[in-house]
Amino acid sequence: MIFAIEEINNSTELLPGIKLGYQIYDSCSSVSVAMEAAFQLSNGQDPEIHTDSNCSQSGVVMAVVGESGSSQSIGISRIVGPFNIPQVFSELKKVNFSRNGYPVSFDANGDPVAFYELVNWQRSESGVIELVTVGYYDASLPKGQEFYINRNITWVEAASQTPRKEKNRNCSPGTRKVLQKGKPICCYDCIPCPEGEISNKTDSSDCFPCPSEFWPNAERDACFPKPVEFLSFNEILAKILAAFSVIGACLAIMTAVIFFYHRTTPIVRANNSELSFLLLFSLTLCFLCSLTFIGAPSEWSCMLRHTAFGITFVLCISCVLGKTVVVLMAFKATLPGSNVMKWFGPPQQRMTVVFFTFIQVLICTIWLLLRPPFPMKNLTTYKEKIILECALGSAAGFWAVLGYIGLLAVFCFVLAVLARKLPDNFNEAKMITFSMLIFCAVWITFIPAYVSSPGKFTVAVEIFAILASSFGLILCIFAPKCFIILLQPEKNSKKYLMNKN
């Protein structure tokens, strides 16, 4: 529009003696702003409104240009209509005229259509270099016909052949174009897309990142879903851990069968058979609970694996603690006039195990009610794959479960150390001391290994700690007894057990 008005003003033929002006307003897509602009136009932007026939004293408004279909233009027409000010709409875009032999027209956006002369430096017959019009460029013509050349063109060094541009190779998908510094726009390099980004078309100027759960292929021209990783039963590592878990459970069951078959022998009766069977039952559960850590995490498996592990281990340590206290009480009871065993008989032993286990059940229940573990997709450890794992929900709940197990283990270890030098050939406190030493060593080394292990190896470390501590307990406490029962039955006598060294 500005171009058209300036052309009209510069012409002495179109509107001789008349100069057109213009004022541009932005309605900001608001009817109220558009109407305020219409009032200003009607009044000529004078500070006061005039009441005679011509409101504007600073200039006569000839017309208003606007879009015919908009609510802003309709509001403007209601205001400027009574002042006989015409409103020119989209028809203005259809204006087409010639000026000085050049066509003047407008495109759909109201912009003037480009028209350029093509000029060429040529040497005349007299040797003078001059500009010669060899054609034109008209953007209003159909695509492919915008250039029209009607004279020969002289190229560099008076060559008549059209020079051929050395064309850069196309940048294939997976790369992007980077212009070479200080060189023309046709000179560029093809740079591979950075990690995690792709370009899926030729000569792309940018690379685009894949969604969070997708990753580029090797060519970096397409995004594919990231592989999901977890400790699956199909993996060799999981099969080995599962095999040791089943072997441990079978070993505990076989030990229980041996103890039950020889339950009337002195060595079984001297080891508090009731706590021994309960300890073997809890060890079986400890071995089997490690299987819940293998496989794809689900809402139920995440809650089961940590709570089952915590409760079964506390049950196990409570039984060991009960056996240790029984050893101490038994030797105290041999002193003259001592009736200490009546204060820690079988009912008290059962209550001790139930009490300590109930505390762990309470901790796990609070954990599950407030912030239970849940399955989650870990997208941060590895960029190219998703780790499916169980989030703790509440780290405080997890470490409270482990801390309580550790507290009972340390307490049991201290009591076992105090009882290890008590007399008699068979002193169970020595074996309990070794088992608790192994248990504490495993779980002390577990903490840094658990924190530093990435992805599915975190689960493998936890399973290994469960199995190692369980095997330590069953081998240290029950292996010597089974050895005597099966291979040295002559030592399975009251006389041998009571022989003091």
* Residues 6 or more apart whose Cβ sits within 8 Å of residue 348: none
- pTM (predicted TM-score): 0.60
Q: pLDDT per residue over 211-262, tens digit each? A: 888 999 888 888 999 988 888 888 898 899 999 999 999 999 999 998 888 8
Q: What mean pLDDT do residues 115-127 have?
A: 81
| Paired residues of 190 in beta bridges | 177
Q: Cα separation of 456 and 317, whole Å?
A: 28
Give the angle subtended at the CA of 302 by the CAs of 296 and 303, to the nearest 5°. Answer: 155
| Paired residues of 129 in beta bridges | 123
- Six token digits for residue 388: 């499916």
- Six token digits for residue 400: 């409270």
pLDDT at 39 over 70: yes
Q: pLDDT per residue over 277-310, tens digit each? A: 888 999 999 999 989 888 888 888 888 888 888 8
Confidence of residue 453 (pLDDT cuts 50, 70, 90): confident
CB 436 within 8 A of CB 368: no
Q: What mean pLDDT do residues 481-497 have?
A: 77
Confidence of residue 9 (pLDDT cuts 50, 70, 90): confident
Using alpha carbons, list the distances in angstroms from residue 427 to 322, 332, 420, 485.
15, 14, 7, 16
Using alpha carbons, list the distances in angstroms from residue 360 to 218, 415, 424, 446.
50, 21, 35, 20
Predicted local distance difference test score (pLDDT) of residue 99: 64
Per DSSP, the residues of 338-352 read --GGGGSSHHHHHHH
Confidence of residue 433 (pLDDT cuts 50, 70, 90): confident
Confidence of residue 361 (pLDDT cuts 50, 70, 90): very high
CB 80 within 8 A of CB 35: no
Q: What mean pLDDT do residues 184-195 have?
A: 83
Predicted local distance difference test score (pLDDT) of residue 70: 67
Q: Which of 224-228, 372-376, 379-383 has the lowest mean pLDDT?
A: 379-383
- Which element (helix H / strand E) includes 119? strand 115-123
pLDDT at 492 over 80: no
SS (H, E, C) 31-64: HHHHHHHHHHHHCCCCCCCCCCCCCCCCCCCCCE
CB 371 within 8 A of CB 299: no
**Per-range mean pLDDT, top range of 109-113, 282-286, 327-331, 480-484:** 282-286
Confidence of residue 461 (pLDDT cuts 50, 70, 90): confident
Confidence of residue 164 (pLDDT cuts 50, 70, 90): low
Packing angle, helices 236-261 and 273-289, rounded to 10:
170
Q: Cα separation of 319 and 271, whole Å?
A: 12
CB 188 within 8 A of CB 168: yes
User: What mean pLDDT value characterizes the chain?
Assistant: 79
